[in-house]
Amino acid sequence: MRTSTRSPLAFPLRAAATALALVLTAACSNAPDGTAPIEEVAPPAAAPRAAAQNPAAAKAPAQKPAAAIAAEVPAIHGPGGACDAEPGGDCGSCDGAADHGPERMIGEEVELVDIRNAPTRGPANAPVTLVVFSDFQCPFSSKFAGVLDQLEQEYPGKLRLTFKHRPLPIHKQARVAARASLAAHAQGKFWEYQAALFDKAQGALDQAGLEERAADLGLDVARFARDMQSPALEAQVAADFEEGDRLAIEGTPTLFVNGHRVMGAQPIGVLRTAIDRALAGTKPAK
């Protein structure tokens, strides 16, 4: 757990995070079964009573609608709530983590991740390996995929990207979408198919929508549909998920840069810092 001096803005940020929680329909965090989803957080019941006891409070300017606050405060999929001032960040606590700078978002320890059966692109001898645990129904994973594409263009020949599945239980279609991506992988089109899955304009993640994407990419749809039911593909998704449990991954996306963890859809500057440190062979600052 990080320790830091709380900013005077901590309370407004917490309040905004609570309002944001009310408009999210799903949170990309690995909440245990039986845990109330984030959208069920309710404002304090004492608030109306306080206004009645204090006439001045009743004359105060009306609060912004939750949707308006959500547009100003970055929504985060993970356990940390909306505390990072940068879009898409996930600091893990509302203790002013954004004030620590990019290097504080990068894990100090090197963690081992098994990538032997995972879809991979980029040179096998690239100096930096990026391993992303992702969920096809997580909007932040969707945005993060575009960031990873940009990084590959910025560091040509220096990055190897590996995809691991972390379909969270709160996302009911994420697991079948993960199997679909592996069925596409069996026909050599994983990366094209994962891009289509993350593109919401291409339809739903039901069976018809998944097969339509396969047809659009020129896949053998009959084979694709059979492979989707393969116990071997389900076993691979399950193995990825279990490895996520071993690594204590709580939210998506979670990235490993040469084994150093970067949690959440961090700004691209944080990822550049992690990559540059990996290329230089230096460790994150303590």
The 10s digit of each residue's pLDDT in 209-242 is 999 999 999 999 999 999 999 999 999 999 999 9
The model's confidence at residue 203, banded by pLDDT at 50, 70 and 90, is confident
Q: Which residues contact 221 (CB under 8 A, 6 or more apart)?
A: 211, 214, 215
Asked if 228 and 179 touch (Cβ cutoff 8 Å), the reply is yes
State pLDDT tens for residues 130-180.
Answer: 999 999 999 999 999 999 999 999 999 999 999 999 999 999 999 999 999
Q: How many CB atoms lie within 10 A of CB 130?
A: 25
Confidence at residue 204, expressed as pLDDT on a 0 to 100 scale: 87
pTM flag (> 0.85): no
Instruction: Return the pLDDT at 61.
Output: 39
Backbone angles phi, psi at 161, to 5 degrees: -110, 130
Residue 260 φ then ψ, to 5°? -90, 125
For residues 19-23, give the mean pLDDT: 34
Tell whether the model's pLDDT for residue 63 goes beyond 50: no
Distance from C-alpha of 117 to C-alpha of 273, rounded to nearest angstrom: 28
Mean pLDDT of 54-75: 38
For 177-195, write each residue's pLDDT tens digit: 999 999 999 999 999 999 9
Higher pLDDT, 53 or 281: 281
Q: What is the pLDDT of residue 238?
A: 97
CA distance 182 to 171: 18
Give me the mean pLDDT over the 64-77 stretch. Answer: 34
* Average pLDDT over the chain, rounded to an integer: 74
Q: Which residues lie across from 249 on neighbouring strands?
A: none
Q: Which pLDDT band holds residue 29 (cuts at 50, 70, 90)? A: low
